[in-house]
Amino acid sequence: MDSLPDAIIQYILSNMGNAKDVASCTCVSKRWKDSMHYLKALYFPRNLNDNLTGDHTSESIVRQMVSSVFRLEELVVYCPFTSSGLSSWLSLQGLSLKYLELRMDNLFEQQICNDNNSKLDCIGAAWNLESLKLWGVLMIHSPKWNTFQKLRNLEIVGARLEDPALSNVLKACPNLTHLSLLACEGLRSVSIELPQLEQCKLDFYGLGNSSLSVVSPKLELLEVQGCSWIRVPETKCLRNLSIANNSGRVYMVDFEKLVALEFLSIRGVQWCWDAISKVLQLASEVKHLYMKVEFTGDFDALLPFPEIDFVDFFNTHPKLQKFDMHGAMFAALCQKNSLKNVDSRFVIPCLEETVITVRSPLNAEQKMNTLESMVKYGKNLKKMTVRILDMKSSHSSADDFFQEICRFRCLNRKIVSIE
């Protein structure tokens, strides 16, 4: 390396980021130490305090290294820090920072709630940020931020939030294209109005009864977990949609027609049938459909799916290429009248792969008829996987049904597999 020009040395070493590696390199030679001023990124791990001696603390180490860099663009701090420490770092490098990631560590420490709010307030000094990621945030009060005009990506993970605080945060980030709120609790009514938003991932803890409204005409991807009422009035660009509720019920979905949708996933213990039927009706252009909803029913009563006509379903989803359905959906397609409208012209034109989860041997004849019909009319079907889960029965019906499935696989061994 001694024969390389200074610019090459600086370029090579500037691609380092881990604080411990940077500190080790400064000990190699004066030439290497001087090149560390050209670092663009610094990462301070969680265990930075380990093996520190004397008066050194993680905060003093961070400040020393941050102050030695000419123009820092990326700063990641996982080790513990205070609001005064963060304020001092951002006063030195805040205007040049493009990416900031912080482990706040105050989520369960109510006694220093005010310090947590101060940390959030400090972030406002880095107003040229393009990406901001926060872990373990307690955001009860709105942070004192001005507008982050350049911020495109905001990610908050493991947070306790209040609705007004989140609303003010989003107002301070008007040009977001990517928004992620993951493992967040405390939110009841969330309204998102971001004209440039393209990808939105929301995961809310709690009773699963939150309401959500998203007004973003450029939205391409939406993943929602933990909401009972969902409204997205502009969906012309939406290509990927995932709705789940592991704790509560999904009562209502309000979308425009999903003309661009390619992937749809709906999951949960209980959905109202109106919500299921509406989203299936709107997603007539979908190419990959994943359904794992156990029951319907508007209130406490858990009801099975009503009968779904086999021919009508595939005629209204002509572009479907991959279909992954859990037991309730499959059972709804296997009712005695489901195949009554089949004629010689019927075909499932695009279906190439299907994964079917079966949990009961009941109605075995109709289930076999449905499986055989999917192979018969799916002219482009290349793979069918039948998953049999926890099939408990005191009679021989479960064994008989499994034998029928095995026979079916043998007759269609190039396409059908059993798991």
Spatial distance between the Cα atoms of 192 and 252, rounded to a whole number of angstroms: 18
- Amino acid 212: pLDDT: 97
- Amino acid 50: pLDDT: 66
Structural contact between residues 369 and 338, judged by C-beta atoms closer than 8 angstroms: no
- Amino acid 262: pLDDT: 97
- Amino acid 359: pLDDT: 84
- Amino acid 115: pLDDT: 56
Q: What single letter denotes the amino acid at residue 336? A: K
Task: Work out the burial of residue 7: count CB atoms within 10 Å of its CB; fewer than 13 is exposed, 13-18 middle, 19 or more buried.
Answer: exposed
The first and second tokens of residue 209, run together, are 């009864």
3-state secondary structure of 26: helix
**From the DSSP assignment, how many helices (H) and strands (E) are in the chain?**
12, 19
Task: Work out the burial of residue 300: count CB atoms within 10 Å of its CB; fewer than 13 is exposed, 13-18 middle, 19 or more buried.
Answer: exposed
The residue ranges of the chain whose pLDDT is under 70 are: 1, 49-55, 106-117, 390-396
- Amino acid 110: pLDDT: 46
Structural contact between residues 331 and 301, judged by C-beta atoms closer than 8 angstroms: no
- Amino acid 190: pLDDT: 97
- Amino acid 397: pLDDT: 75
DSSP code for 306:
P
Give percent of the chain with pLDDT exceeding 70.
Answer: 93
DSSP code for 307:
P
Spatial distance between the Cα atoms of 194 and 215, rounded to a whole number of angstroms: 7
The first and second tokens of residue 408, run together, are 């079916």
Estimate the crossing angle of helix 58-67 against helix 83-93, to 10 degrees: 10
Spatial distance between the Cα atoms of 369 and 243, rounded to a whole number of angstroms: 30
- Amino acid 392: pLDDT: 61
Spatial distance between the Cα atoms of 419 and 413, rounded to a whole number of angstroms: 14
Ramachandran sector of residue 231 (left: φ over 0; alpha: ψ -120 to 50; beta: rest): beta
- Amino acid 395: pLDDT: 56
Task: Work out the burial of residue 50: count CB atoms within 10 Å of its CB; fewer than 13 is exposed, 13-18 middle, 19 or more buried.
Answer: exposed
CB atoms within 10 A of CB 214: 24
Spatial distance between the Cα atoms of 204 and 221, rounded to a whole number of angstroms: 17
| Listed residue (363, 355, 284) closest to 317, CA to CA | 284
- Amino acid 391: pLDDT: 64
Query: Order of strands, edge to edge, in the sheet holding 189-193?
Result: 189-193, 210-215, 227-232, 252-255
> Considering the entire predicted model, what is its pTM?
0.90
